Structure 1
C-alpha cells in the first residue's frame, strides 16, 4: 500500500510539464508532506495542473484514478515504492545531483544497501566479452560485491548470470515499469535474480520500454555502485553514457582492454586513454574500491556451475554442428518464448554459440 506522500509524488509526476526540478521546488527545503501549502502549489503549477492536484487531494478526478491503478499494480506485482526521504532509499544514489525522487523496487530491498559494482557493456558482445563479464561477476560476487547492471542482452545478462550462478545477489536497473520484463527473452534470468536480489526502476508501473528511458536509467546503475566496469563498448556506444555518468558522480571507472583491431573494444580503449583503470583481474578492481577485503583470485575457488535439469536436457538436444531454431524447437517441444530465454542462458554459460550459421553446442 502506498503512503499518502508517495501517492502525491506520483500525482505530481503525472502532470504534464511537471518534472523532477519542479517537484523538488514545491517541497523546497521542507520535508515531504502529503498536505503541501496551496500557495506554493499555485506558484509552481499552471492553473490546469493546480486544479488537477486539487481534485486529487479531494479524492476525485482522472489523476486520482490513475494513482489508484498504479497502487493496485504495485500491490499485485509485489512492488515497493521508496521516496528520497525513505530510510531504505540507497545512500550512495542520493549523493548524485539528479537522484530520482522515488524508486520502485521488486525483490529484496535490503540488497540496495550492500556494496555494489556495476558491470556494463555491449548488447552485441563477442563470446569472449560474454565470458569475461560472467567470470568477473562471479569473482566480484565472491568478494562481497553485489553486481548491478541493466538486464539488457549481452554483457548485462552475462554479468547478472555470473552473480546468480555463483549463489549471490544481483540488482537489475530497468528502463520500464516493474510489471514487465524487457527484453522478454530475459524473463527466466530476471526471475531467477529475484531469489536473492531485486529489480529497480524510476518508471511507474505500466511504463513501456521507450528508447529514451534507457540512457536515463544508466545514471542509476552507476549511482548505486562504488564503481563501474565496462566490458566491450564501441565508440558512441550507449554503454559510454554509463561511464560518463560514473565520472560525473565521482565513481571509479574500470575498462577491460581487447584486441586493437576489434571495434567492440574501441570504447574501452578510449576510456583507458582518458584515465579509466585498465583491468585484467578481479583484484585490480578490489584494490581500488574494496581494499579491506582479502581478494579471492578469479581463477581460484570458483563455484562450479551445475545446469538446472531443464537446461541440461535442452543442451543434450543441441549438436556441435549448427542447427536452426525451428529444428531445436521441433526436437524439444518447448514454447518459443521459453526456448529463446533458455538458449540465452546456455549461451551465457558458454555452452552454445549463436551466429549467422545457426546454433551449435561448444561444450
Structure 2
C-alpha cells in the first residue's frame, strides 16, 4: 500500500509514522504490513489494519470497511459506488427521493447517507415504518394530534412530520400505507403543512421526504392499492439498490465491516480468511445484507478465540420452506369457517413455498397486501401451523 493519504474525513497513516491528531468525526486507519493480517478497533474512530502483501484484495476490502464512519454505507462494487456518488448529488437538493430495492439491501442506510451528506445534516432524521404502526393510529402519529382529539389522547403529540422539521423524514415501507391516508400525505407534501387531529389550522413544516419500498409501486398503482398522484410526487428522483448477489464487489467490504462492528474489543477473530471470503462470494444471498449480517455474527461466535474466521465457521441461513401443510395440522374441521380457513391456509403455504418463503412475492401472487398476509400468517401461527421463517 502506498504512502499516507487523507480523503475527506479519513486519515490513513503508516504505523511507523505514529498517531496524528484528528477531529472527533474523523476516521483514522493506521496501516502496517505484517505476516498475520488483522483488523482491530482501537476506539470509536480509530482502526488498526495489518495486511499481507500476498492478499491485497482482502486488504483493500478491509480498508474500505474500516474507513466508513458508523452507520454510513460500505461499498466496493463499481455500480454501488456510482449509486452513492449519484446519491451525494441528489442530497444537495430538497426534492423527494424514492429508494427502491428488495428487503434487506440497506435502503435505510442509503436514506441516512442522503441525510448526512445534505445541507440538512444538522437537523433531525426521523424514520417511520409505515407497516409497523397501527393503522388506526397512523394519521395521528404522522401529523400529530391535540389533547382530547380522540379517546385516549390525554396529551398532545406533535407527530413525526413536525418532529422532522428542518431535517429529513424517512417513510419506510411506503407501499404499506393505507390508501385512505395517502391523500392526506399527498396534501402534506404539496402544501408543506399538516393539520393535526383535532386542530382547525394547518401547521407549516419544512421536511425533506425520503420514501423506501420493496414493492413495485407502479404495479400497486395498477391494482388500485397506491395513488398514482402520490407515486409521481414521491418518485421525483428514484434510487434503486440491487440485491446483494448482483453486487458481488460489496460482499467482502461488508463482511469486514460487520467483523469490526460485532467482534469484541479484546478477543475473537480479527480477520476473514480467503477461503471464507470465497465461500461468502459464492452464496446467492436470498436475504441480502441482512442475511450476511446473520452469517457474520454466527461466524464470529463459532470462531471463538481463533485469529480469523475460516470457511468452517460459515453457516448460511436455510431458505424458508413450509414443511407441513394445513390439512395435517387442522384436524376434525366441522364448520364452514374451519374449512374456509384450511383452504386459505393451504393456498398461502403453497404460494409461500413457490416463492421461496418471500412475503412480498407471495402477497403479489395472491393479490393481497403484505399487511394482510402478515395478519393471515399470525392467525395461522396461532392455529399451530408451521409458517415460521417466511422472509420479507
- TM-score, length-scaled by structure 1: 0.28
Structure number with greater Rg is 2
